[in-house]
């Protein structure tokens, strides 16, 4: 079993009958969704899912998981999602899979968030992984120039066919190659107040539990 599958299965144990569950996006979240589907089929588990991307929606529907949109629920009990990097404060970078906007919306309205990662994602400081910034297409080139002038080494994200990637929300993504982020809240605030930026991949104070996959087994870290 690979580490992503291990943590996906481990996280699904936190799902109980009747929960409204936020279903994350990515290659790690994939295994968690599969395991929830298996538990529903084999153990009679009953949940309602709220998906964070079209890809996860397709997977969940294929498994027969009943779904509601984020606007059809009063709250989400638990969201389980992957992450690209996690620091000792449980701040993280997300959006490698281009779903950061919907992921942040669902995480914000969730009573509990669990992240599932393999050991390689645990870092002392965020920033080696390029920070995704979701922007409106109108004026995006101005933002690329602005970020370039700030030394953020921006790159407009393209898809496999070389076309500009369009997110599920209809936006573009500019990846910032920062190498190291020394003041995470300050950068988040700067991006939050930049016109044309819809959302960014810095997730701060949203998760209290991270399940990390190690070759010897999964370890659940709780925020102190």
Find the binder of ligand 5RP among 95, 130, 154, 218 (CB under 6 A).
95
Contact between 97 and ligand 5RP per CB under 6 A: yes
> Beta strand 48-51 with 20-23: parallel, antiparallel or unpaired?
parallel
> Beta strand 197-200 with 131-135: parallel, antiparallel or unpaired?
antiparallel
Contact between 212 and ligand 5RP per CB under 6 A: no
Neighbours of 205 (CB within 10 A): 11
CA atoms within 13 A on the CB side of 218: 20
Q: State the nearest-atom distance from the C-beta of 145 to ligand 5RP, in Å.
A: 25
The CA-based angle 53-54-60, given to 5 degrees, is 90
Q: Pick the closer one to ligand 5RP by CB: 129 or 152.
A: 129
Q: State the nearest-atom distance from the C-beta of 18 to ligand 5RP, in Å.
A: 25
**Which of 71, 64, 65 lies closest to 48 in space, CA to CA?**
65
The site map against ligand 5RP for 75-94 (x = CB under 6 A) is ------xxxx---------x
Q: Pick the closer one to ligand 5RP by CB: 95 or 127.
A: 95
Partners of 115 in the beta sheet? 81, 210
Contact between 130 and ligand 5RP per CB under 6 A: no
**Which of 32, 60, 58 lies closest to 48 in space, CA to CA?**
60
Find the binder of ligand 5RP among 2, 16, 27, 180 (CB under 6 A).
27
Contact between 3 and ligand 5RP per CB under 6 A: no
Find the binder of ligand 5RP among 99, 135, 176, 188 (CB under 6 A).
99
Is residue 159 classed exposed, middle or buried when 0-12, 13-18 and 19+ CB atoms within 10 A define those classes? Answer: exposed
* Active-site annotation holds for 42: no
Q: 35, 85, 103, 134: which is the annotated catalytic residue? A: 103
Q: State the nearest-atom distance from the C-beta of 214 to ligand 5RP, in Å.
A: 16
Residue in the block written with tokens 């393999």: 118
Contact between 154 and ligand 5RP per CB under 6 A: no
Is residue 191 classed exposed, middle or buried when 0-12, 13-18 and 19+ CB atoms within 10 A define those classes? Answer: buried
- The pair of structure tokens assigned to 98 is 């281009």
The site map against ligand 5RP for 5-24 (x = CB under 6 A) is -------------------x
Which positions touch ligand 5RP (CB under 6 A)? 24-29, 81-84, 94-100, 103
């Amino acid at each position: 079993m690979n580490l992503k599958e291990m943590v996906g299965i481990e996280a699904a144990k936190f799902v109980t009958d009747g929960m409204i569950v936020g279903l994350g996006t990515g290659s790690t979240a994939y295994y968690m969704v599969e395991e929830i589907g298996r538990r529903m089929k084999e153990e009679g588990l009953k949940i309602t899912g709220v998906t964070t991307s079209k890809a996860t929606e397709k997977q969940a529907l294929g498994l027969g998981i009943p779904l509601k949109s984020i606007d059809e629920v009063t709250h989400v009990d638990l969201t389980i999602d992957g992450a690209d990097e996690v620091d000792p404060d449980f701040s993280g970078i997300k959006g490698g899979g281009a779903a950061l906007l919907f992921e942040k919306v669902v995480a914000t309205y969730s009573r509990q968030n669990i992240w599932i990662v393999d050991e390689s994602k645990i870092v002392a400081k965020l920033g080696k992984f390029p920070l995704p910034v979701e922007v409106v297409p109108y004026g995006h080139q101005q933002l690329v120039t602005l970020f370039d002038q700030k030394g953020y080494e921006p790159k407009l994200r393209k898809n496999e066919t070389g076309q500009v990637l369009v997110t599920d929300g209809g936006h573009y993504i500019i990846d910032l190659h920062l190498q190291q982020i020394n003041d995470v809240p300050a950068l988040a605030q700067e991006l939050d107040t930049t016109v044309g930026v819809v959302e960014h991949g810095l997730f701060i104070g949203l998760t209290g539990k991270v399940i990390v996959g190690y070759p010897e087994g999964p370890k659940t870290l709780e925020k102190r």
